Amino acid sequence: MNAVARPAAPIAAAPESPLQIELTFVLAISTDQAFDLMANRLNEWFTAIHAVTWDHSQSVRGGHTAGACSERSCDFGGKALREIIVTWEPGRRYSYRADMARSEMKMPLDDHLGSFDFEPVDGGCRVTWRQHFRPKWFVPGPMLRWQMRDRMMRPAVEKLLVKYGGHWA
């Protein structure tokens, strides 16, 4: 199901800000397994995240099922980063927006849209992880990209590659 946020929740599915980071890698697991890892089990591979909790009460797929408009909360050592799911296509793609106004974990960015795309390939699944955002406050874009890409995202992907097999694409 290609679910996009209902009009009652004003969430844009298309990026409103420039692409800042794109990582592409291949995992030696199926698209369904990769989707589950990237969407539901972040704390198993993204070491900065200690726990993940969900609220599906606004989901377009029903109050107990993940979908667009579900809310995910990622615990970064006692500070929650709240995210709203924008698109949800199990095994294929999902995207999310960081709700910085409601998050305890503050990051110097606006207009965030993150996404994961999953494509079956020989021997596994190609994953493309994108981050769109606008830097804010006084933080220069290159510094924020370096911090997110090289200090957070790349080490998380490296952990996945070691645990599940695969390579950078």
Domain range list for the chain: 17-168
Mapping DSSP to helix (H, G, I), strand (E, B) and coil, where does residue 9 land?
coil
CA 51 to the chain's CA centroid: 14
pTM for the structure as a whole = 0.89
Question: Quick one: pLDDT at residue 11?
Answer: 55
Give Cβ neighbours of residue 7 (< 8 Å, ≥ 6 apart): none
Q: Encoding tokens for residue 136?
A: 């804010």
Q: How far apart are the first and last CA of the chain?
A: 27
Top-level CATH class of 17-168?
alpha beta
Instruction: Report the chain (169 residues): mean pLDDT per 10 consecutive residues.
Output: 43 75 98 97 95 95 91 96 97 96 88 96 98 84 91 96 98
Contact 98/81 with Cβ under 8 angstroms?
Answer: yes
Mapping DSSP to helix (H, G, I), strand (E, B) and coil, where does residue 31 land?
helix
Contact 25/161 with Cβ under 8 angstroms?
Answer: yes
The H or E element that residue 145 is part of is helix 141-146
